[in-house]
Homo-oligomer: A and B are copies of this chain.
Amino acid sequence: MDLPRLDDLPTWLLSRASGRAHGLLQDAFREAGSRGYAYRLLVALAQVGPASQADLGRSAELDRSDVVTTLNALAADGFVERRPDPSDGRRNIVALTDAGRRELDRLQDVVAAVQEQVLHPLDPAERRTLLALLRKLR
């Protein structure tokens, strides 16, 4: 008779690893005075350049509602500028400021440190293998 064990379940192992990573990330962002949502929006802005909030939400996989709240905070800190789109009155055009670019650089270091912390038990070849397999899961 085979006793069921959660530790044998791929979904359980995924959930544990992800939960641990998420906790470390959240702590690191809090310590750095930021949030995961803010980081994701800054990354999206750096990737696609100035964009509407709807497009940013799609890029960062953030809900339209959370985009609003997060941009409010980023704008208050001077990390983004929000101005109406002259060619489409429904939209804002959101752009990174220089301070925003510096903030993103700073958060990149924070995030990189957490990646190292999470992957620490694996050697470089194992890390590549893990990433490739995770990517294969779609």
A residues adjacent to B (C-beta < 8 A): 3-7, 9-11, 13-22, 24-25, 40, 43, 46-47, 60, 104, 108, 111, 114-115, 118-119, 121-122, 126-127, 129-131, 133-138
Contacts and interface: CB of A to CB of B under 8 A. Distances in A.
User: Taking the full assembly, how many copies of this chain does it contain?
Assistant: 2
Contacts of A18: 11, 14-15, 17-19
A126 B118 contact: no
A136 B16 CA distance: 12
User: Which residue, A21, A40, A47, A138, has most C-beta atoms of chain B within 10 A?
Assistant: A21
A127 B10 contact: yes
A11 B137 contact: no
A111 to B, nearest CB: 7
